[in-house]
Every structure is written in structure tokens, then in C-alpha cells.
Chains A and B, each alone.
Chain A
Amino acid sequence: MVKGIIAKSLRDALELRKDSTFVPYIGGTDLMVEADENKSYLFLHQVPEMKNIAEDEEFIRFGAACTFTEIIKNPLSPMILKQACRQIGAPAVRNMGSIGGNIGNGSAKADSALICMVTDSKLRLASADSERIVPIKDFYLGRKKLNLNPDELIIEILMPKHGLENYYHEKVGARKALAISRVSFAGIMDIKNGVIQNNATAFGAVSDVIIRLDTIDNMLIGKTIEEAKKLRGDYIQAIGDAIVPTRGRVGIEYRKDVCINLLKSFLEVSGI
């Protein structure tokens, strides 16, 4: 039995993906923690189409196999994404770990996936026969449950490039390096001429999937700073009611308090 296959092109990779016994492998930093020598991997690190970082009118496009180090070094990467990637693991983990793997691993603690959520990024998924673009929010169906067919791969992440300048990001971990998020938060506030154009928040490591409460966030969109200040209490209350932390190693009450405190800090730095 073949124990592993190295794909050299996207076409190769998608053909090989038809055999769903192969586990897609990019950086391996999550997969290899449970290293099972009986597992068969589909190695994707030499697929050139998955290594690009490029931009078009609307998006920065990250190939799924781009490492965190490559993202940090690339001038096209938005600051909010760089900041989150800098706090992942330690240098050796960032040199191997990839954005596509971070998303595909399906963890609500994934630090780069948090940024993809708050920016309402889209994923380009492909199989040998078809291709589709899925908003990342619709990609996560539940704990480790992904909207990904057995013959599909995540090829590219499309991150909107406008309106990301005013952001707030905080990762709460138990230590400085090699920390796994206890709670993570990202918020984006885009204000033009005193009117809120966009307000987006995402909470990681709290629930089965990263929480993105866009309907509640929309309460503040279209409002002036003064109007938003009046809505502040109701907004925080609504977010607080909607966040229901799952049981984990870290207490539920604590994590909820941290979420609300981070939300308040985000509003404060945004002038609300």
C-alpha cells in the first residue's frame, strides 16, 4: 500500500485527492503532533499554485500552502493578519505551519482563521471536476465539521483588502510563546466621515467554531459615533447573550468575561 504521495502540480493534487484515504498535508505542525505512521498523506508543499500571494481589485489572495512566515514577510499581507500570525507558536512552527492547514484543521482556536472570519474572507475550494467559492463563515459547520467534500482541497484564501486598517486583535494565552489561545478576539471598525461603514468582530477558542455575530455587529453600521455610543450598552448585551462558551479546560465564566472585556476595549479604541 502506498503510504504517501507528493503532488507536484494542482492538477496532480486534485487527481490524487479523488482517493480520500490520503490526508492533505501542508506544514504538518498540527497533523504530526499525533503522528500516525499508518496514515497516508498527500503532500502539497510542492504545488506551486498553492504557494502564491497576489492581489486583485478586491482581494489579497493567499495560496493555502503559504506559511505564516511567508505571510508575515509579504508586503501585501494586511497588518491584522500579520499580527495574528506573529503570535502563532514560535519561529519553527511559523516556518512550517500554513494558513490553509490552520483553516482546514477546523479548530476554533486557529489564530489565522480568526482573521479570515473577521474579514469575511472567502475560500476557493476545488476538486478535479469542479470549483467553488465559499464564504469562510459557511465553511465551518460544527466542531471539526467542514463544508468540504472528500475530494476537495482548500486552494486559496481570498481576503478583502479594503477597510482593514482600523483593527483590534488580542490573543489571550497562558504564556508568551507557543501559546494556544484561551480566548482570541479580532475586531474591525471602518469609519468614514464620522459614519461607521463596517463593524465586524470574531471570537476564537470560545465555542465549537469561531464566533462571528455579523447580524448583531450590523447594529452599529450606518450609525454616527454619537449614535453608536448610545447603542453601546445594548450592543454589548446582545453579543454577551449570544456567546455561549463550550466546556473546556478553561472556565466558561472566565472566557465569557474575557470576550466582553475585549469587546469593550475594541469599542474604546474605536472611540465608542
Chain B
Amino acid sequence: MANEIRFKLNGSEIVYTGNPSMRLVEYLRGEKQLTGTKIGCKQGECGACSVIMDSELVNSCLVAMGRVNGAEVTTIEGYSKTEKFAALDKAFESVSAVQCGFCIPGMVLASESLLASNPHPTEEEIREGISGNLCRCTGYNSIVKAIEIAAEEGSGLW
């Protein structure tokens, strides 16, 4: 019971003393300039603001700063330094799964979340895994293909 909110962000210890009712996504983009996390709908509908919190995918628009206390948060910037990201990056590139790119940070983190719990998903499981992440460009097929490729080529990473 304190006003001080302590958490880990991309591996670094953070002590936050601002408004606990502020949305995590606003904090990431506004105060930390981590603009890879996008704001799409602010309703938990589009998944553009997805981050990983305590190993689970969450919509950072629906997380108040008070809820972050004690958690470990990874944004696309933190994740991009990992070997797993490299495998997904290569796979997404190989099938041109990126068009405008707005949904991609969220898509990549949704892929990570899926593969972490299910390293060899079926196509149906992939579609379920990214069902909270909307893409208005690709029609999803290339993204699904990219995740299949990452699971195969990156076998053993997850």
C-alpha cells in the first residue's frame, strides 16, 4: 500500500510516482519515448498496444499504472534485442508479412506469447493466438505463414 509503483521495464528497475490511473501505453510512449507500442483504439480491440507483462500478452491501453506494480514489462524495443525476435523478424520479412507496419509490434509480441506456450502451433492455433491483433493491410495470411516459418526455422528457441 504505497504511492510508489515499482516494476521492471525491458530489464531496468523503474520507480514510478505519477498518477496510478494513467494508462501504461501513455507512460511508455509519452514518458519513456518507447513509441514502438502503438495506440490504435484505446479499447482493447486492436492489439496495436500489446506488450508482454509477466510472460503474458496484455493490451497496454487497458492497464493502469497501479496494476504494473511488481510486474515485468517487455515492449517491442526490449524484445527486439533477443534471438527469438531475430527469428520472427526474418520470417516476417521472408513472406512480406509487413505492409504499413502499424500492427506489427503487437503482432510480433502476440507471436512470441503464442510460441512461448505452444512452440509448434497449428494454423488454427496461430489464428487464435493473434485474434486480438487487427491488421487492415495484409489479410492475415502472410502473417500466419510468417509465424509458421518462425516456429519451424526457430525450432528450439521456444
Contact flag A32-B62 (CB < 8 Å), given A90-B47, A91-B57: yes
Contact A69–B56 (Cβ < 8 Å):
yes
A6 (CB) vs chain B CBs: closest residue: B69
Residues of B within 8 A of A16 (CB): 1
Residues of B within 8 A of A27 (CB): 62
Contact B66–A6 (Cβ < 8 Å):
yes
Count A-B pairs with CB separation below 8 Å: 114
Contact flag A4-B66 (CB < 8 Å), given A35-B21, A93-B59: yes
Contact B64–A4 (Cβ < 8 Å):
yes
Which one, B37-45, B75-83, B92-100, B146-154, is touching chain A? B37-45
Task: Say yes or no: is B22 at the interface (Cβ < 8 Å to chain A).
Answer: yes
Contact flag A178-B132 (CB < 8 Å), given A4-B20, A38-B21: yes
Segment 21-51 of B: residues with Cβ below 8 Å from A:
21-23, 42-45, 47, 50
Listed residue (B3, B21, B58) with the most chain A CB atoms within 10 angstroms of its CB: B21
A175 (CB) vs chain B CBs: closest residue: B131
From residue A87, how far is it (CB to closest CB) to chain B in Å? 11
From residue B77, how far is it (CB to closest CB) to chain A in Å? 19
Task: Say yes or no: is B63 at the interface (Cβ < 8 Å to chain A).
Answer: yes
Contact A35–B23 (Cβ < 8 Å):
yes
Residues of B within 8 A of A37 (CB): 19, 21-22
From residue A118, how far is it (CB to closest CB) to chain B in Å? 25
Task: Count how many chain A residues have C-beta atoms less than 8 Å from C-beta atoms of the other chain.
Answer: 37
Contact A93–B69 (Cβ < 8 Å):
no
A4 (CB) vs chain B CBs: closest residue: B20
Residues of A within 8 A of B113 (CB): 91
Our pick among A28, A43, A96 for the contact of B69 (Cβ within 8 Å) is: A43
Q: How far is the CA of A92 from the CA of B61 in the complex (A)?
A: 11
Our pick among A2, A36, A45, A92 for the contact of B67 (Cβ within 8 Å) is: A45
Contact B21–A36 (Cβ < 8 Å):
yes
Contact A35–B42 (Cβ < 8 Å):
yes
Contact B63–A28 (Cβ < 8 Å):
yes
Binary flags per residue of A1-20, CB closer than 8 Å to B gives 1, else 0:
01111111000100010000
From residue B46, how far is it (CB to closest CB) to chain A in Å? 9
Contact flag A28-B1 (CB < 8 Å), given A39-B21, A176-B131: no
Q: How far is the CA of A28 from the CA of B3 in the complex (A)?
A: 18
Contact B56–A41 (Cβ < 8 Å):
no
Residues of A within 8 A of B114 (CB): 91
Contact A95–B57 (Cβ < 8 Å):
yes
Contact B131–A178 (Cβ < 8 Å):
yes
Q: How far is the CA of A14 from the CA of B70 in the complex (A)?
A: 21
Contact A46–B69 (Cβ < 8 Å):
yes
Contact flag A96-B63 (CB < 8 Å), given A5-B1, A6-B2: yes
Residues of A within 8 A of B67 (CB): 25, 28, 43, 45
Contact A92–B64 (Cβ < 8 Å):
no
Contact flag A95-B56 (CB < 8 Å), given A25-B66, A33-B43, A43-B67: yes
Task: Say yes or no: is A29 at the interface (Cβ < 8 Å to chain B).
Answer: yes
Contact B3–A32 (Cβ < 8 Å):
no
Task: Say yes or no: is A177 at the interface (Cβ < 8 Å to chain B).
Answer: yes
Interface residues of B (CB under 8 A from A): 1-3, 5, 19-23, 42-45, 47, 50, 53, 56-59, 61-67, 69-70, 110, 113-114, 128-129, 131-133
Interface residues of A (CB under 8 A from B): 2-8, 12, 16, 25, 27-29, 31-33, 35-41, 43, 45-46, 69, 89-93, 95-96, 176-178
Q: 9 smallest A-B Cβ distances: which pairs?
A: A90-B132, A4-B20, A177-B131, A95-B56, A32-B62, A4-B66, A43-B66, A92-B57, A90-B131
| Given A32-B61, A177-B131, A177-B132: 4 more A-B contacts, CB < 8 Å | A4-B64, A6-B5, A29-B62, A41-B64
